[in-house]
Structure 1
Amino acid sequence: MPAMTVISATAVPDHLRGALTRWLLEVTPTLYIGTISARVRTELWNSLTACITDGSAVLAYPAANEQGFTLYTVGPQRRDPLDFDGLTLIAFRRGNSGQGIAKPI
């Protein structure tokens, strides 16, 4: 069943931006929103995680959990999502050292 999906992707290759705009609306630079199936969402996320070099991306979509959504990140980020007893909390890093971890869907 299609669900609202939000992707924020910075510093990604042009061909990947083109793939995202085939399925989602680019409402502001780097922010993509649309209603797509889980299969399309998974394929887009796999393409993003395979092509990310200097950039970063965040994926959010509805889920049957306490918060009502699931969040994934890839690439270097200052904010890292952490699981805390089933809730996603955001840990903020002071510096921009380290890499974000891609989490599979």
Structure 2
Amino acid sequence: MFAVLTISAVPEHLHGYVSRFLTEVESGVYVGNISRNVRERLWERVSTTLDEGTSTMIYSDPRQEQGFSMLTAGKNSRKVLDLDGLTVVSMRPGRGESKIRDR
């Protein structure tokens, strides 16, 4: 199962842990083929060790129309939504921003 994991502003030891299973192709961006069991355990470890950081995992999922699923953890600025099997990413409005912007 192909997976892409991004982590930012996380404890340094987490980078070392993740690099046991995935290859770091750029700072904080990891890719690789891992089993479902490894993916689930890796995500559990990453999502509970973030402190103030953020993480996103995208992995192949043949059950989804688009062929992938997505997980996020931490203080992300985006929210992942499932709309009848279609994965979309929504921007969360920040402080002082309205949900509908004037043009």
Letter in 1 for 2:73: V
Give 1:44's aligned residue.
42
Cα separation, 1, equivalents of 2:22 and 2:89:
26
Structure-2 residue corresponding to 1:5: 3
Could you tell me how far apart the structure 2 residues matched to 1:5 and 1:21 are?
A: 13
Tell me how far 1:85 sits from its aligned partner. 1.1
Secondary structure of 1:54 counterpart: coil
Q: Secondary structure at the match of 2:51?
A: coil
- The structure number with the bigger radius of gyration is 2
Q: How many residues align?
A: 94
Question: 2:65 maps to what in 1?
Answer: 66
Partner SS state of residue 19, structure 2 = helix
The one-letter code sitting in structure 2 at the alignment partner of 1:85 is D
Deviations 1:13-50 (A, max 9, x none): 11111011111111000100011111111111000111
1:72, 1:10 → 2: CA distance? 15
Q: Which amino acid aligns with 2:12?
A: D
Give the TM-score, by structure 1 length: 0.84
Higher mean C-alpha deviation, range 86-95 or range 70-79: 86-95
Percent identity, aligned pairs only, is 38
1:1-105 paired onto structure 2 within 5 Å: 3-64=1-62, 65-95=64-94
Q: Which runs of 5 or more residues in structure 2 are unaligned?
A: 96-103
Deviation at 1:70, TM superposition (A): 0.5
